A and B are shown apart, each in its own frame.
Chain A
Amino acid sequence: MCTLAGIAILLLTPEAQAIPAFARKYNVNCTVCHTAPPVLNSFGQRFLENGYQLPGTEDGGTIGKKQLGDLTLDDVTNYLAFRMVGNAVRSWSFKQQNPPGADRGVAENKTELTFPESFVLFTGGTLTKNVGFMVELGHDVEGGGSDVERGFVTFNNIGFHNLAHVRVGRFDPNAFYSYATVRQQLGEVGESASTCAAFSPCTLNRAGLAPSAFAAKFYGLYQRDGTAISPFAASLFNSGGETGVDVHGRPFGDWFLYQVGIVNGANEGFGDSNKGKDFYGMVRFDHAKSHNFSANLSGFVYLGRSNAKVQSQDDVNWNRYGLSARATYKMVDLYAALAVDKINETPVAVAGNFDSTATGFTIGADTYVTDKTLLSVRYDNLDGGGMLDQRTSSTFVGTQVKHFLRTNVALFARNDFNVRKAEGGDAAARNLRYAFFSGIDVIF
Chain B
Amino acid sequence: MRSRIFLSVLLILAGGSSLVFAFKPEDNQATSESGRLIYEQSCIFCHGADGKGDGPAGWFIGRYSAPHPRNFTSEGFKLRSTVSGSLPTDQDLFRTVTQGIPGYMPPFSGLAEEERWQVVAYLKSFNPAFKEEKREPLTIGYPPFPSSDEAIETGRNVYLTYGCVNCHGLNGKGDGKESLEDNLKDARGLRIQAADLTAPTSFKNGATARDLYRSMMTGLDGTPMPSYANQFPGKDIEAWGLVYYILSLSAERKP
Contacts and interface: CB of A to CB of B under 8 A. Distances in A.
A288 B60 contact: no
B60 A371 contact: no
Given A27-B201, A28-B102, A41 B45 contact: yes
- Among B46, B49, B57, B109, residue most surrounded by chain A Cβ atoms (within 10 Å): B57
A53 B110 CA distance: 9
B44 interface: yes
Interface string B13-49: 0000000000000000000000000101110111011
A42 B52 CA distance: 17
Given A28-B106, A254-B40, A254-B41, A43 B54 contact: no
A43 B69 CA distance: 13
A28 B69 CA distance: 14
B226 interface: no
Interface string A27-48: 1110110110000011110100
A41 B46 CA distance: 10
A60 B52 CA distance: 29
B42 A292 contact: no
B232 interface: no
A296 to B, nearest CB: 10
B45 A43 contact: yes
11 contacts: A27-B107, A27-B201, A28-B102, A42-B55, A42-B57, A46-B45, A54-B110, A55-B42, A57-B108, A290-B55, A294-B57
Contact of B103 (A29, A46, A331): A29
A57 B52 contact: no
Given A288-B45, A290-B54, A331 B61 contact: no
B117 to A, nearest CB: 15
B52 to A, nearest CB: 7
A321 interface: no
Nearest to B105: A28
Given A27-B100, A254-B40, A289-B55, 8 more contacts: A31-B62, A44-B57, A290-B55, A291-B54, A292-B58, A294-B57, A331-B63, A368-B63
A374 to B, nearest CB: 10
Nearest to A50: B41
Interface string A366-398: 001011000000000000000000000000000
Interface in B94-123: 100, 102-111
Contact of A56 (B41, B58, B61): B41
Nearest to A369: B64
B127 interface: no
A178 to B, nearest CB: 14
Contacts of A254: 40-41, 44
Interface string B187-216: 000000000000001000000000000000
Q: Give the interface SS of chain A, mostly helix, strand, loop or mixed.
A: loop
A289 B104 contact: no
B100 to A, nearest CB: 7
The 3 closest A-B pairs by CB, nearest first: A59-B110, A56-B42, A294-B56
B167 to A, nearest CB: 19
B89 interface: no
A108 interface: no
Contact of A41 (B49, B60, B62, B100): B60
B140 to A, nearest CB: 23
A290 B104 CA distance: 18
A293 interface: yes
A330 B49 contact: no
Given A41-B56, A57-B111, A27 B106 contact: yes
A44 B106 CA distance: 12
B44 A289 contact: yes
Contacts of B52: 290
B59 A330 contact: yes
Contacts of B149: none
A55 B100 contact: no
Contacts of B236: none
Interface in A323-341: 328, 330-331
B136 interface: no
A32 B106 contact: yes
Contacts of B54: 290-292
A291 B110 contact: no
Contact of A32 (B38, B105, B109): B105
A41 B104 CA distance: 14
B173 to A, nearest CB: 16
A89 to B, nearest CB: 28
B8 interface: no
B58 to A, nearest CB: 7
A35 B100 contact: no
Nearest to A331: B59
A328 B106 CA distance: 22
Given A43-B45, A57-B111, A289-B48, A27 B56 contact: no
- Among A32, A162, A293, A370, residue most surrounded by chain B Cβ atoms (within 10 Å): A32
B154 interface: no
A292 B42 CA distance: 16
- Among A43, A53, A60, A328, residue most surrounded by chain B Cβ atoms (within 10 Å): A43
Interface in A229-258: 254
Interface string A19-32: 00000001111011
A14 interface: no
A35 B41 contact: no
Given A28-B103, A54-B108, A291 B48 contact: yes
Contacts of A328: 56
B104 A32 contact: yes
